[in-house]
Amino acid sequence: MRAWARWSAVLACVLGAALAVPTPARAEVGTDDVVQALGLASEPADYVVLVDTSGSMNAGGRYAKVRTELGKLVAGLDADDRVSLFTFDTKAVPRFHGVVGKTPESVLAKLPKKATGRHTDIGAAIAAGLGELEKPDTHRLAALILITDGKLDAPGSTYANPKSSAWKALQDRASGLDATHQVAAYAVALQASTDAALLKQAFPQAAEVNASQVGARFAQVGGDLVRLQAAQELKEELAHPIAVSWTGDLGKALADGSPVDVRLTLTSGYAHVPVELTGVRVETPEGLTVTLTGLPEKVTLAPNQSVTLPVRAAVTGSAGWGSTAALAATVESPWQRALTEGLGLEFAPAFDGTASIPAAPIRLPPSLLSTIAAVVAVVVGAAVVLWLVRVLLIPPMNGLLTIRRRGRALADIPVQGRRAKVAAPSVAVELQGLTGSVRSRRAGKGDPGGVLVDLRFGAVRARGPIADGGTLVLGDMTVVYTSKHRRILDKIGFPDAAVPDSDEPAATTEDVPLMRD
C-alpha cells in the first residue's frame, strides 16, 4: 500500500471515531479531515535526498544516525516511488537513482561507509537536486531533503557566496517548477548552527528540521505530499465564484416606489468546500439603495448546492445608466482554518451575478401637464402668427437677376417665390460655377424692399440687399434685380424706371456694393 495511502487509512479510523461523538453544528475541520474528504487518487512520488559527507558528519554518530533514519524513510515508500540519492562535500555525487522496488535496502547500500569529505558545497547539492526534479519524467509530487551538519564551505565553487547570481539562478529554477510540480522541501540541520536553511533561498516554503525531529519528520513526508496534492486541487476549486441569479423587476420597484417580489438563487462553485453566508446584503452605486427583507440570518451551501431565497426588494434613490445591484455577504467555512493555516490557501469567496436597475421614467403631476400643454399651445400659436405675418408682409419674388459685365448681359436668371437657389443657366458659359441664393425682402418705411442675395463666383463673394432696379457688385460684374412690375413700368416708359446700362453701380441708395472675398 502507498505510504500516504496507509497514512490516510489510519486517519480514516481516527475520523470514524471522532465522527461518532456529537459535535456542534459548525465544528472546525482539521487539515487531515479536509485531505481525507477529498478522496485523492494514489500517485507515485519522487524523493530527492542530499546527504552531507564532509568529515564532520562522523562526529557524534551523526552519519550513522542519518543512514538509519533514511533507511526507515525508504522502507516506508511504495515500490513505484522513485529515489534519487546524492552525497555532497567538495562536489555533489549521484549515488542512486531509480524506483524503490522490492529491495529498499539497496538504496542505502550506495551510501559511503564513512563521511570523508573536506568541504560542504550546499549550493552544488541543491543544484544537483534541481537537476533531478527538472527531468521530464519526474513525478508531479516530489520531496527534496537536504541533510547537513555544517556551514557553507565551498572555496572556488560557483556557490561559495550565497548572495551571488548563482544562488539567484537556483531560486529561479525552483520557481520554474511551480507550474508542473508540488515539491515538499526539508532543510535538516544536525547541529544547532548550520547553513541547512540556505535551502529556503531556492524553496522559501522549505520546512526546517532539527536533529531531534528527523525520525518523526521523515515519517510525515508522505502525509506532507498528500497535503500538497490537496492544496493544489483546492486552490483551483477556490478560484470559482458563488453564482447569483436574480428573478424580479428592480426597475419596477424603483419606478413605483413600492417593494417587489424577488427570488435570489445562490449556487456554490465549490465541489468539496461547504460555506456559510451571513449578513447578506446588496451593494449598489452611490445614490441608490436596494433593501431586501425576508432573508434568513444564515445561508448554508453544501458543495455544488443551489439555494433559492424568496425575498422582497425595495429600491430607492436614483439609478443612472447601467446601474446594477450586486450581492455581498460574510462567507465562512468549517474548512476555513484548515485551508488557510494548514494548506496555505487563500479563502476569499467572490460572488458572480448582478441585477440591472433601469432609471425610473419621468412622471409629471396632472396639474403640471395641463400647464405644459397650455405653454405648448401658446408657443405653437405664436409660431403660426409669425408665419402668417411673414407670408402677408413679405411678398413673393417674381422677377429677374441680370448678370452683366462691361455693359453686356451675360444671363437673366428668373427668381420666384420667397426663397430660391441661384445657378447659372447652361447656356451662360462664362458664368459656370456661379452659385448662391436669393430671398424676398419686405418693403418698409424708407426701404424700397427688393431681394437679399448671397452669391459666389469662384473666389469672389457678394452678399446684401438689392432694391427693385438696383445693383450689387460681384467682382468685375454687376447683378441687377428687376421685378415683373418694374419691367412693365420700363416698357411703358416711366422716366425714373431706367436701369443703368453700365457696369458701374448707379449713385443711388439702392446700389449696395458689399463684401468681396
**For cell 428668373, what's the residue?**
414
* 341 in a structural domain: yes
In the numeric block, which cell numbers belong to residue 514? 458689399
| One pLDDT digit (tens) per residue for the chain, 517 residues | 454 444 444 333 333 333 333 333 456 788 888 888 888 777 899 999 999 999 999 999 999 999 999 999 998 888 899 999 999 999 999 999 999 888 888 888 999 999 999 999 999 999 999 999 999 999 999 999 999 999 999 999 999 999 999 999 999 999 999 889 999 999 999 999 999 999 999 999 999 999 889 888 888 888 888 888 888 889 999 999 999 999 999 989 888 899 999 999 999 999 999 999 999 999 999 989 999 999 999 999 999 999 999 999 999 998 777 889 999 999 999 999 999 998 889 999 999 999 998 886 655 566 665 777 778 888 888 887 776 766 666 778 888 889 999 888 888 999 888 889 999 898 888 889 899 999 888 766 666 678 889 999 989 999 989 888 889 998 999 999 888 877 877 777 665 544 444 343 433 333 334 333 3
Whether residue 195 sits in one domain with residue 109: yes
CA dihedral 85, 86, 87, 93 (to 10 degrees): 140
Report the SS3 class of residue 102. coil
Q: What range does the domain containing 439 cover?
A: 394-497
Q: What phi, psi does 270 have (nearest 5°)?
A: -100, 130
Whether residue 223 sits in one domain with residue 84: yes
Q: How remote is the C-alpha of 345 from its chain's centroid? A: 23
* 217 in a structural domain: yes
Whether residue 180 sits in one domain with residue 273: no
- Alpha-carbon distance of 155 to 55, in angstroms, equals 16
* 411 in a structural domain: yes
Tell me how many domains the chain contains: 4
Whether residue 347 sits in one domain with residue 215: no
Whether residue 441 sits in one domain with residue 369: no
Whether residue 157 sits in one domain with residue 82: yes
Whether residue 203 sits in one domain with residue 63: yes
Whether residue 317 sits in one domain with residue 461: no
* 315 in a structural domain: yes
For residue 438, list its beta bridge partners. Answer: 420, 453
pTM given for the model: 0.58
Q: Which of 172, 201, 236 is the last residue of a domain?
A: 236
Whether residue 226 sits in one domain with residue 96: yes
- State the first-to-last Cα distance of the chain, in angstroms, to the nearest integer: 102
* 322 in a structural domain: yes
* 133 in a structural domain: yes
* 412 in a structural domain: yes
Whether residue 283 sits in one domain with residue 194: no
Whether residue 487 sits in one domain with residue 466: yes
